[in-house]
Amino acid sequence: MTSEITYLGNLRCKASHLASGMEIFTDAPVDNHGKGEAFSPTDLVSTGLGLCLLTIMGVLAQREEIALEGTRASIQKIMLADPRRIGEIITDIYFPPLFISEKQKIMLERAARSCPVALSLHPDLLQTIRFHYAEENL
């Protein structure tokens, strides 16, 4: 097993990662009867995509000896109403100055787009991924 989830009441859950004991909490969003005081389940799906993108790029970066530390992703989740579901996840990835080749940029971007979460999401869910390289703004 990967995790155990307990419903705490008032639209809040606790998830425990069994291997590490780490815990996260979720809350229903304000627009769906919740308090919005924690990640919602759909926030976690969207955030999971961003985490996967960075992790897979990190695997490539280690192999290619690219210092990816400080790279960050901003996630925007767009919900649809009928049926209620995530319609689009917009991910902006911001790199610190890397000064890498065009080939290495292409490799990083391909790695990100092939992360397991991205490949697991339904094809109707639009995944917009934008890459922002700091040295292009210098």
Tell me what pLDDT residue 135 has: 74
Helix (H, G, I), strand (E, B) or coil at 77: strand
Write out pLDDT tens, residues 10-38.
999 999 999 999 999 999 999 889 899 99
> Helix axis angle, 41-64 relative to 102-113, nearest 10°?
140
Instruction: Give the dihedral of Cα atoms 134, 45, 90, 127; nearest 10 deg.
Output: 110
Tell me what pLDDT residue 138 has: 52
Tell me what pLDDT residue 136 has: 67
Residue type, 77: K
Question: Would you say 66 and 98 are in contact if contact means Cβ atoms under 8 Å apart?
Answer: yes
Helix (H, G, I), strand (E, B) or coil at 128: strand
Q: What domains, with CATH codes, occur in the chain? A: 3-32 (no CATH), 41-137 (3.30.300.20)
pTM of the model: 0.92
